Amino acid sequence: MYRTEVPVEMNNFSLIILGGGAAGIFAAIAAKESSPNSTVAVLDKSAHLLAKVRISGGGRCNVTHACFDPKSLIQNYPRGSKELLGPFYRFQPQDTIDWFEKHGVQLKAEPDGRVFPVSDSSQTIIDCLLDHARTNEVEILLKQHVEAIEKTSSGFQLHLKDGHSLSCQKLLIATGSAKAGYLWAEKLGHTIQPPVPSLFTFNIPHFTLSHLSGIAIDPVEIALRNTSLSQKGSLLITHFGFSGPAALKLSAWGARQLHDSTYQAELDINWLPNDSEESIFNTLREAKKRTPQKTVGATRLFSLSKKLWQTLAEEMDDQKWIALPDKRLRQLAQKLVRDSYKTGGKSTHKEEFVTCGGIDLKEVDFKTMESKICPGLYFAGEILDIDGVTGGFNFQNAWTTGFLAGSSAQRENP
Ligand X SMILES: Cc1cc2nc3c(=O)[nH]c(=O)nc-3n(C[C@H](O)[C@H](O)[C@H](O)COP(=O)(O)OP(=O)(O)OC[C@H]3O[C@@H](n4cnc5c(N)ncnc54)[C@H](O)[C@@H]3O)c2cc1C
Which chain residues interact with ligand X by CB under 6 A?
A: 18-24, 43-46, 51-52, 55-57, 61-62, 146, 174-176, 178, 180, 351-354, 381-382, 392-395, 398
Residue type, 25: I
CA dist 370 to 19, 146, 211, Å?
A: 16, 21, 52
Chain mean position to CA 70: 17
Cα–Cα distance measured from residue 165 to residue 146, given in angstroms and rounded to the nearest whole number: 9
- Choice between 196 and 332, CB closer to ligand X: 196
- Choice between 180 and 216, CB closer to ligand X: 180
Residue 246 CB, nearest approach to ligand X (Å): 18
Residue 51 CB, nearest approach to ligand X (Å): 6
Long-range residue pairs from 72-78, CB within 8 A, at least 24 positions apart, any chain? 73/393, 73/396, 76/388, 76/389, 76/391, 76/393, 77/386, 77/387, 77/388, 77/389, 77/393, 77/397, 78/198, 78/252, 78/253, 78/255, 78/356, 78/387, 78/388, 78/389
Residue 57 CB, nearest approach to ligand X (Å): 3
CA dist 254 to 34, 85, 228, 258, 260, Å?
A: 39, 22, 10, 6, 10
Cα–Cα distance measured from residue 333 to residue 322, given in angstroms and rounded to the nearest whole number: 16
Residue 121 CB, nearest approach to ligand X (Å): 12
Residue 143 CB, nearest approach to ligand X (Å): 9
Cα–Cα distance measured from residue 167 to residue 246, given in angstroms and rounded to the nearest whole number: 47
- Choice between 147 and 314, CB closer to ligand X: 147
- Choice between 174 and 252, CB closer to ligand X: 174
- Choice between 23 and 97, CB closer to ligand X: 23
Phi first, then psi: give them for residue 303, nearest 5 degrees: -100, 20
Beta strands 139-141 and 146-151 are unpaired
Beta strands 165-173 and 377-379 are parallel
- Choice between 35 and 62, CB closer to ligand X: 62
Classify each residue of 215-233 as buried b or exposed e, where b means 16 or more C-beta atoms within 10 Å of its C-beta.
bebebbbbbbeeeebbbbb
Contact 358, 192 (CB under 8 A): yes
Residue 408 CB, nearest approach to ligand X (Å): 17
Residue 354 CB, nearest approach to ligand X (Å): 5
- Choice between 255 and 333, CB closer to ligand X: 255
- Choice between 304 and 386, CB closer to ligand X: 386
Number of other residues whose CB lies within 10 A of the CB of residue 13? 22
Q: Among 274, 265, 226, which residue's Cα sits nearest to residue 247? A: 265
- Choice between 20 and 117, CB closer to ligand X: 20
Residue 388 CB, nearest approach to ligand X (Å): 7
Cα–Cα distance measured from residue 369 to residue 376, given in angstroms and rounded to the nearest whole number: 10
Residue type, 116: F
Phi first, then psi: give them for residue 178, nearest 5 degrees: -70, 140
Residue 146 CB, nearest approach to ligand X (Å): 6
- Choice between 129 and 280, CB closer to ligand X: 129
Residue 131 CB, nearest approach to ligand X (Å): 18
